[in-house]
Amino acid sequence: MPSSIEQVIGVDLGGTAIKLGRFNGAGELLAGLELPTPQPAMPGAVSVAIAEAIQQLDPERLAPRVGIGHPGPADRSGRVARVAINLPGWIDVPLADWLEPMLERQITLANDANCALVGEHWLGAAQGCSDVLLLTLGTGVGGAVYLDGKLFTGRGGAAPEPGLISINAEGPVCHSGNRGSLEQYCSLAGLRRLSPLDPAELVQRAAAGEPESLAVWAEYGRLLGVGISSLVYQFTPERVLIGGGLGAASPYFLPAVWAQVQERVQAVSREGLEIQPCALGNGAGRLGAARLALGWR
């Protein structure tokens, strides 16, 4: 177990914002910081922004380790960001090697959704679970999986990518090269194909009972439920967690998700299944990144 004395920094790199937290070994947030992601989010500009933010967050250098979650797979050593399909220029970026000389701190990289699931497994909605699927819904659709109590990262560290499974062979082209991926329908861009309204406004209108907004979320949930049904067949989790920026709207789309799962997944494959929102909100990613920096998976 990590020391309750040592401090550690967790960073959640997203397409629009970078969220940082300084934690003690028990996962208590001691200080937080959020800044916009440089645009365009080229690797050099982002690395400088992260370095400056870490110095601002911890000027007394109380945290010798930093975990960074980024939107794509890392290599198995946690040193190289292999690819980030929604960020320009992110192919085999040696982010840890870049940042360590600048910061003189130990850097660990991981997929952002993996970080979110680690955070939820530590202090959130996945506590006590051995088999969990998490989806992060936002600029893209990321995901992470626990199998038999261990984080599943695949042979080369690039697994899983549940947001890139196809739900429509003739659907929109995805940045990954796939067509009709779950991400194309359930990311922020996918939601905008259903409605031009901002998600926050769609939530407000749905909360007020507006039929048109309720119908948008129901269709969004139907599409998400199609993808989750396939993922349930693959992993047979005991719990599916929904996170990311769009996860805040889950009360309006989860009923449609569950209806699809009940219709499409045979009973033996969904026995005991729970589908629910993450407990830690957008803070799960930076918490999990910090946990991984302490050497826990």
Given a contact cutoff of 8 angstroms between Cβ atoms, the answer to whether 16 and 36 are in contact is yes
pTM greater than 0.75 (yes/no): yes
Report how far residue 186's alpha carbon sits from residue 284's, in angstroms, rounded to the nearest whole number: 20
How much is the pLDDT for 3? 45
- 152-164 exposure pattern, b = at least 16 Cβ within 10 A, e = fewer: bbeeebbbbbbbb
> Is 80 exceeded by the pLDDT of residue 271?
yes
Is residue 106 predicted with pLDDT exceeding 90?
yes
Per-residue pLDDT band at 281 (split at 50, 70, 90):
confident
Among 33-37, 40-44, 83-87, the range scoring the smallest mean pLDDT is 83-87
pLDDT value at position 140? 87
Residue 2 has pLDDT above 60, yes or no: no
Confidence of residue 153 (pLDDT cuts 50, 70, 90): confident
Cite the DSSP H helix spans in 74-207. Answer: 95-103, 112-123, 182-186, 188-194, 199-207
Residue for token pair 């909605």: 125
Q: What is the pLDDT of residues 232-256, one digit of tens each?
A: 999 999 999 999 889 999 999 999 9
Which residue did the predictor score with more confidence, 276 or 15? 276
pLDDT reported for residue 91: 95
pLDDT of 262 over the 90 cut = yes
